[in-house]
Amino acid sequence: MELYFATSNKNKFSEALELFRKNGSVQIKQLKFKHNEIRSDSLEEIALEAVEKAYRKIKKPVFVEDSGLFIESLNNFPGTYSAWVYKKIGNRGILNILKSRNRTAVFRCCIAYANGNKRKVFFGECSGKIALRERGKKGFGYDPIFIPAGKKKTFAQSKELKKALSHRYKAIIALKSYIFNKK
Ligand code: ITT
């Protein structure tokens, strides 16, 4: 089975690919997909709208993923605006805004899948905190400033940590389980 991941983000794609590669019967392909995302505070709403467009385009099994970093003391900023905020102010900007505020944060991910008339959503999240400074060179985006709960390293310092705990891996595991178990 060919399953398309519609995304413009090569890092998201390679993380998904790595998880699916372990099972030979599903081939993951990237649909390079740039579109005008709707504005919403809901990852699910954004993902469902995007997968509709992607499915209309290729008419093959496809999923999209909307994700973001939600910082509690900033009223969940940058949340669904994470990609835009990262481009504008980056990790330094987030650290400057946070200053001495509480650093509790959560990474969230919503995958929307479409095939024929079927639509399904899958979620994943990872709680943690924002580091005092950027640490590590692996991963992408906010990985250098995110420390998963109970750990000392940021996601950018440990690929293993990210793989085991990230919001994306949890949502992809849920998607995989649906794909492999559906009749
Ligand atoms: P597509 O919409 O084309 O898939 P995108 O990068 O624009 O790509 P989003 O709109 O879902 O994706 O934005 C999510 C942003 O949140 C992303 O660009 C990163 O800045 C950040 N982000 C999401 N997951 C992350 C992760 O695992 N590690 C670090 N930052 C992450």
CATH of the domain at 40: 3.90.950.10
What pTM was computed for the model? Answer: 0.96
Mean pLDDT value across residues 97-102: 96
Atom 28 of ligand 1 has which residue's CA nearest to it? 143
Range of 14's domain? 2-181
Ligand 1 centroid from CA 22, angstroms: 23
Ligand 1 centroid from CA 6, angstroms: 13
- Alpha carbon distance 102, 119 (integer Å): 37
Q: Is the pLDDT of residue 183 over 60?
A: no
Number of structural domains (the chain) is 1
Q: Looking at residue 115, what is its pLDDT?
A: 97
Ligand 1 centroid from CA 183, angstroms: 32
Confidence band (pLDDT; 50, 70, 90) for 21?
Answer: confident
Ligand 1 centroid from CA 82, angstroms: 7
Q: Is the pLDDT of residue 121 over 60?
A: yes
Q: Looking at residue 129, what is its pLDDT?
A: 98
Q: Would you name the residues annotated as active-site residues?
A: 66
| Ligand 1 binding residues, C-beta < 6 A | 7-9, 12, 65-69, 82-83, 86, 139-143, 166, 168
Which residue, among 70, 65, 80, has the nearest Cα to 174 in the 3D structure? 65
As a whole number of Å, the end-to-end CA separation of the chain is 14
Cis peptide before 61 (omega within 30 of 0): no
Confidence band (pLDDT; 50, 70, 90) for 26?
Answer: confident
From 44, 87, 142, mutation site for ligand 1 pocket: most ligand atoms within 8 A of C-beta:
142
Burial of residue 92 (number of CB atoms within 10 Å: 0-12, 13-18, 19+) = exposed
Confidence band (pLDDT; 50, 70, 90) for 41?
Answer: very high
- Alpha carbon distance 146, 128 (integer Å): 7
